[in-house]
Amino acid sequence: MATPLTADRLLRALRDEGLHVIEHRSWRTNNRNHKGPWGPTHGVMIHHTVTSGSASSVELCYNGHSALPGPLCHGVIAKDGTVHLVSAGRANHAGSGDGDVLQAVKDERAPLPADNEADTDGNRYFYGFEAVNLGDGKDPWPDAQLLAIERAAAAVCRAHGWSQRSVIGHLEWQPGKVDPRGFTMASMRTRIGARLDRDPDGPAEPEKPKPPTKPKPTPKPVAYEPFPGADFFRAGRRSPIVTAMGKRLVAEGCGRYTVGPGPAWSTADRNSYATWQRKLGYTGTDANGIPGRTSWDRLKVPNV
């Protein structure tokens, strides 16, 4: 019994087992959770698609059809061993099956009982992998595909701490089913068990390295205009320092400008500076609008 793997954990488990995985369209949110609960999970079920061709098989398993709405599994295993993920939730793959088989899977007990009833909702409890194969007993099973089935089932079992006895075929679950046809589930469980006894192969698709983070440049210390002296501020004086001072006064909420500020020292500049002096607590002749060293240093006029 286990909480279903999140989409991220399922993807990571498969890749860590050495599988080439393709995320198909909106697989993370493609599910049938509105039709019933998903989980707790107890095992992995293997199917064949009764189709040929990877692209069309993946689309069919993603969408389903009029008689069987999709998704029809969690992953589609192509002939070349690629796993195409089509769902991360409840999928329409297992249907109703034998409750005694489910109990044996939960207990990881062998041999499995005969599947002679269809009284239990398998879509709730099993991950499903559809392998692309016609299921006619003649369509071959390439080594790469069989290895991918082994790896995919082992990946899910490893993530949950299950043994190979948590993996079954559709034919062992639902009366009348024959899939997967062309290899035995007993032989596949033997392969899965051997794989679980060793470390995973590691990711087939290493994550792209993240570009190195550029160190943030050390900000240059801000340079401020030194106090130019009270004599500097007289009628007719033109200087970019006056403009910079006026902008700082506006930023401090002390600007008394109708137009500007500009480079020529004006009555508006003096009135604005007097407001700044009063803001600092000066009164009387100390707030006459002519800058002094202390008030100027506190205004922090940037270098121009």
How confident is residue 297, by pLDDT bands cut at 50, 70 and 90? very high
For residues 30 and 87, the answer to whether their CB atoms sit within 8 Å is yes
- Which helix (H) or strand (E) segment holds residue 10: the answer is helix 7-16
Burial of 218 (0-12, 13-18, 19+ CB in 10 A): exposed
Average pLDDT over residues 192-211: 79
Q: What is the pLDDT of residue 1?
A: 58
For residues 278 and 288, the answer to whether their CB atoms sit within 8 Å is no
- Distance (Å, rounded) from C-alpha 229 to C-alpha 296? 10
Q: What is the pLDDT of residue 213?
A: 75
SS3 52: coil
Average pLDDT over residues 122-130: 98
Q: What is the pLDDT of residue 35?
A: 95
For residues 181 and 48, the answer to whether their CB atoms sit within 8 Å is yes
Q: What is the pLDDT of residue 205?
A: 58
Q: What is the pLDDT of residue 227?
A: 94
Of all residues in the chain, the percent with pLDDT exceeding 70 is 97
Q: What is the pLDDT of residue 208?
A: 62
- Which helix (H) or strand (E) segment holds residue 121: the answer is strand 120-121
155 closest CA partner among 113, 112, 122, 204: 204
DSSP state for residue 174 in the 8-state scheme = S
Tell me if the pTM is above 0.85: no
Q: What is the pLDDT of residue 103?
A: 97
Beta partners for residue 167, in sequence order: 44
SS3 276: helix
CB within 8 A of 270, min separation 6: which ones? 233, 288, 289, 290
Q: Answer whether residue 238 shows pLDDT above 60.
A: yes
DSSP state for residue 175 in the 8-state scheme = T
Q: Answer whether residue 220 shows pLDDT above 90.
A: no
- What are the phi and psi torsion angles at 85 (to 5°)? -80, 130
Q: What is the pLDDT of residue 260?
A: 84
- Distance (Å, rounded) from C-alpha 124 to C-alpha 169? 16
Q: Answer whether residue 185 shows pLDDT above 90.
A: yes
End-to-end CA distance of the chain: 72
- Whose tokens are 């948590």? That residue is 166
pLDDT digits (tens, 9 = 90+) for 37-65: 999 999 999 999 999 999 999 999 999 99
DSSP state for residue 41 in the 8-state scheme = B
How confident is residue 222, by pLDDT bands cut at 50, 70 and 90? confident
Q: What is the pLDDT of residue 201?
A: 81
Q: Which of 55-59, 166-170, 228-232 has the lowest mean pLDDT?
A: 228-232
User: How is residue 249 written in tokens?
Assistant: 């006064």
State the average pLDDT for the chain: 94
Amino acid, single-letter form, for residue 247? K
CATH topology of domain 7-196: Lysozyme-like (3.40.80)
Q: Answer whether residue 217 shows pLDDT above 60.
A: yes
How confident is residue 120, by pLDDT bands cut at 50, 70 and 90? very high
Is the peptide bond between 111 and the residue preceding it cis, with omega within 30 degrees of 0? yes
Average pLDDT over residues 190-216: 80
pLDDT digits (tens, 9 = 90+) for 71-117: 999 999 999 999 999 999 999 999 999 999 999 999 999 999 999 99
Q: What is the pLDDT of residue 49?
A: 98
For residues 20 and 166, the answer to whether their CB atoms sit within 8 Å is no
- What are the phi and psi torsion angles at 41 (to 5°)? -90, 145
Q: What is the pLDDT of residue 45?
A: 98
